[in-house]
Amino acid sequence: MSKLTIPKEEIMSSGHLACQGCAGALAMRYMLKVFGRKTMLAIPACCWSVIDGPWPYSAVSVPLFHTAFETAAIAASGLKAGLVAQGIDDVNVVAWAGDGGTFDIGFQAISGAAERNDNILYVVYDNEAYMNTGIQRSSATPYGAWTTTTPANHPKDRPKKDLVEILAAHRIPFVATASVAYPEDLIKKFEKAKNTKGFKLIHIFAPCPTGWKMPPELSIESARLAVQTRVFPIYEVENGVHYKLNINVKNPKPVGEYLKIQGRFRHLKEDDYKVIQGNVDREWKLLMRKVETFK
Amino acid sequence: MKKVILGDHAVSYGALLSRVQTIAAYPITPQTLIIERLSEMTANGESNAIFTKVESEHSAMASTVGSSASGARAFTATSSQGLALMHEMLHWAAGARLPIVMANVNRAMAPGWTIWTDQNDSLSARDTGWMQIYCQNNQEVLDSIILGYKVSEQVNLPTMVILDAFFLSHTAEGVDIPDIKEVDKFLPPYKPEIKMDINDPRSFGALTSPDVYMEFRYKMQESMDKAKEVITREGKEFGKMFGRKYGLVEEYRTEDADTILVASATVASTARAVIDEMREAGQKVGLLRIRVFRPFPTEEIVRVIGGKKKVIVIDRNISFGKTGIFFDEVKGAFYNYTGNKPPMFGYIAGLGGRDVTPKVIREIMDDAIKKDKPESEILWKGVKL
Ligand SMILES: Cc1ncc(C[n+]2csc(CCOP(=O)(O)OP(=O)(O)O)c2C)c(N)n1
Ligand code: SF4
Ligand SMILES: [Mg+2]
């Protein structure tokens, strides 16, 4: 295997407006390193519409179109169509959205673009709630989590929506999970997406210290623990049927290690940990069956 | 080349002749024939446009916005519920200063389900920053698409070309389809001053504080004002090249008239026959058709009807809790007028596609002429209670 290099060039500047330890900001930095300057971004309402800076500033040195909350996928495919119609074929268009703009309000447009196999990359940086508007639950919020709309005495009582499975069901060329705690894997996936035609989606686990009530220095650690506890498996699916586990977790840590460092899970009791552990074990088993069956 | 075509197909030809580069649309009666024909045109190579068959009208407009921002000439078409679903993106298109042209087939809003014409769909989008052109025949529909791009690309605001459901959309009329080479001379390729460009990376539509937002809106209004001149100038230019001239309003036998009927769209074209009939009977009546509703032609309206004895407005729409919308705006145009303000009669007729026949219009005219002033702000025509 060839040695992986992460491009040195910084296309995103440090003068952005993200909080300390924001994994959503870090993920963008990596993506732009791989995608380079021949890239255009469509960003809907989310933390990133603030992170990039107010008019007339921008933290990224590529064209960026701010668009409505539910339109990242279709604004990106409209951009792509417009470029191709003008004979510009070598510019990558990336839709970059939060979990709310993806799992919830923007879901219909994503399904449309995926079904048509529009030639764009869709990236969701998943901080598991609506952070821009002050930490409200989304359908990506995990079971048991506190948010301002799922208060501690009535936390979220439904599991996180399984986005990757739904996208796989669209039989798109490439859909994958990734994590800022595993940059080599993340970079490889961006490269693969860059070299694949059609609709690609990368679901990036992106800790948010502000919304998760956690010190910023634990951002990467929490992302790593999510993988090592099997809470967030790192895998990919090609054409909807070829499953591949990218990071195998042979000896998982108990979920408590991941949960206990975050204030959003502080209200949980031992029994709750057991329920969550059970859910995680079951989901992992299910995924392993797919990985073994559909190679 | 003269051809007998439906209003919907006049839209398709207008888009074809404008050499639109992208189309994104979602079907809704009575707009479907527009996009079916465009699907054929793009499939058989008549048009080189990339046609994205989106999953909703909200996405149709979002896609069109994206394509236009990339520098392409972008087109879409819709009607009624579809236009309402797009509403958020209508603001986006105008606020992003994109010269998109869209056809909207005027269809009444549900409930109850209806597919027939009235203007409440497009008038609900009045304040989005789109120019609005209300057409009276299929020829005007085709010409207005071409003119729409010519004007929009100069003022950086989108244009909505509006045609009545069925009375135009599904009615066959003789239409002169100009030669595309001639259209090319009138409408050169779109060359935006600023667009999404990797060699000049910018962020579009970023966060704006109260310190700067208002200036962006001021500039939109400035462009709307400028659009009045541009529409008038290009309408004349078009007339020179193709023999059909267009303006903000159209006058018919208004010069020596003492009573003026104000109407739009196909109600106005029907009214012409009524004006002729009444003129023959010696009555001094005339017609003012409002073709462009945004930007609103205040000066032209005041010039034509200021000092007249009586003004009658027919609205195929209603602002609930107020009056007909054209009536309201025509009245508003006179508030600061220092001359002789004519009494104004505001009739509402033809909602949900009910016929506004010459007989209906004649009855409205006779009713207003015999009265000194209207007995109420809204005069309902033909309501069965
Ligand atoms: C149609 C619409 N509804 C609601 C909002 C308000 N809004 C803006 S951002 C946001 C939440 C974004 O959450 P997510 O997509 O997860 O991104 P994050 O802020 O977490 O990065 C909401 C609810 C909006 N801008 N538009
Ligand atoms: S609130 Fe969270 S996602 Fe938003 S900028 Fe701060 S750390 Fe990043
Ligand atoms: Mg979020």
What pLDDT sits at residue A2? 60
Quick one: tokens of B279?
């003129």
Is the pLDDT at A216 greater than 60? The verdict is yes
Instruction: Give B209 Cα–ligand 3 centroid separation in angstroms.
Output: 23
Residue of A nearest to B88 (CA): A68
Residue of A nearest to B209 (CA): A54
Instruction: Give B216 Cα–ligand 2 centroid separation in angstroms.
Output: 28
Domain boundaries, chain A: 23-294
Is the pLDDT at B208 greater than 70? The verdict is yes
Taking contacts as CB-CB distances below 8 angstroms, the residues of chain A near B71 are 82, 86
C-alpha B347/C-alpha B301 separation (Å) is 18
Cβ B216 vs Cβ A58: under 8 Å: no
Q: For the residues A124-150, what does the mean pLDDT come to?
A: 98
Residue of B nearest to A37 (CA): B198
Is the pLDDT at A1 greater than 60? The verdict is no
For the question of whether the overall pTM of this predicted structure is more than 0.95, the answer is yes
Cβ B131 vs Cβ B151: under 8 Å: yes
Cβ A222 under 6 angstroms from ligand 2: no
Sheet architecture: strand order including A235-238: A242-245, A235-238, A174-179, A200-205, A121-126, A92-98, A39-43, A64-66, B203-204
Looking at ligand 2, which residue's alpha carbon is closest to its atom 8? A22
Average model confidence (pLDDT) across chain A: 97
Yes or no, beta carbons of A109 and B67 under 8 Å apart: no
Looking at ligand 2, which residue's alpha carbon is closest to its atom 4? A47
Under the banding of pLDDT at 50, 70 and 90, the label for residue A66 is: very high
A-B contacts (CB, under 8 Å): 156
- The number of C-alpha atoms within 13 Å of A82 and in the hemisphere containing its C-beta is 29
Convert the pLDDT of each residue in B54-107 to its tens digit. 999 999 999 999 999 999 999 999 999 999 999 999 999 999 999 999 999 999
Query: Could you say which residues from 208 to 227 on chain B have a Cβ atom under 8 Å away from some Cβ of chain A?
Result: 208-209, 212
Domain boundaries, chain B: 2-242, 249-380
Is the pLDDT at B324 greater than 70? The verdict is yes
Instruction: Select from 3.30.565.10, 3.40.50.720, 3.40.50.970, 3.40.1190.20 the CATH code of B2-242.
Output: 3.40.50.970
Instruction: Please name the residue ranges forming H helices in B281-320.
Output: 298-305
Q: Which atom of ligand 1 is nearest to the CA of A48?
A: 21
Instruction: Give A126 Cα–ligand 3 centroid separation in angstroms.
Output: 6
Q: For the residues A24-50, what does the mean pLDDT come to?
A: 98
**Strand boundaries in chain B, DSSP class E:** 2-6, 22-25, 50-53, 74-79, 101-106, 131-134, 159-164, 172-176, 203-204, 249-252, 259-263, 285-290, 292-294, 310-315, 344-348, 379-380
Quick one: tokens of B281?
């009977």
Convert the pLDDT of each residue in A158-197 to its tens digit. 999 999 999 999 999 999 999 999 999 999 999 999 999 9
Residue B25 to chain A, least CA–CA distance (Å): 11
Yes or no, beta carbons of B201 and A76 under 8 Å apart: no
What pLDDT sits at residue B63? 98
Yes or no, beta carbons of A66 and B205 under 8 Å apart: yes
What pLDDT sits at residue B100? 99
How far, in whole angstroms, is CA B282 from its chain's centroid? 33
Under the banding of pLDDT at 50, 70 and 90, the label for residue A3 is: confident
Instruction: Give A45 Cα–ligand 1 centroid separation in angstroms.
Output: 5
Taking contacts as CB-CB distances below 8 angstroms, the residues of chain A near B72 are 81-83, 85-86
Instruction: Select from 3.40.50.920, 3.40.50.620, 3.40.50.11540, 3.30.750.210 the CATH code of B249-380.
Output: 3.40.50.920
User: Which residues does residue A125 pair with via DSSP β-bridges, in sequence order?
Assistant: A98, A204
Cβ B196 vs Cβ A79: under 8 Å: yes
Q: For the residues A225-241, what does the mean pLDDT come to?
A: 98
Residue of B nearest to A84 (CA): B50
Amino acid in the structure at residue A10? E
Instruction: Give B207 Cα–ligand 1 centroid separation in angstroms.
Output: 14
Is the pLDDT at B141 greater than 90? The verdict is yes
What pLDDT sits at residue A4? 77
Is the pLDDT at B256 greater than 80? The verdict is yes
Record: fold of A23-294: Rossmann fold (3.40.50)
Ramachandran assignment for B71, one of left (phi > 0), alpha (psi -120 to 50 degrees), beta (any other) = left
Whole-number percent of chain B with pLDDT over 90: 100
Q: For the residues A69-86, what does the mean pLDDT come to?
A: 98
C-alpha B52/C-alpha B36 separation (Å) is 13
Taking contacts as CB-CB distances below 8 angstroms, the residues of chain B near A85 are 21-22, 48-50, 67, 72
C-alpha A182/C-alpha B23 separation (Å) is 41
**Could you say which ligand is closest to the alpha carbon of residue A49?**
1
Are the folds of B2-242 and B249-380 the same?
Answer: yes
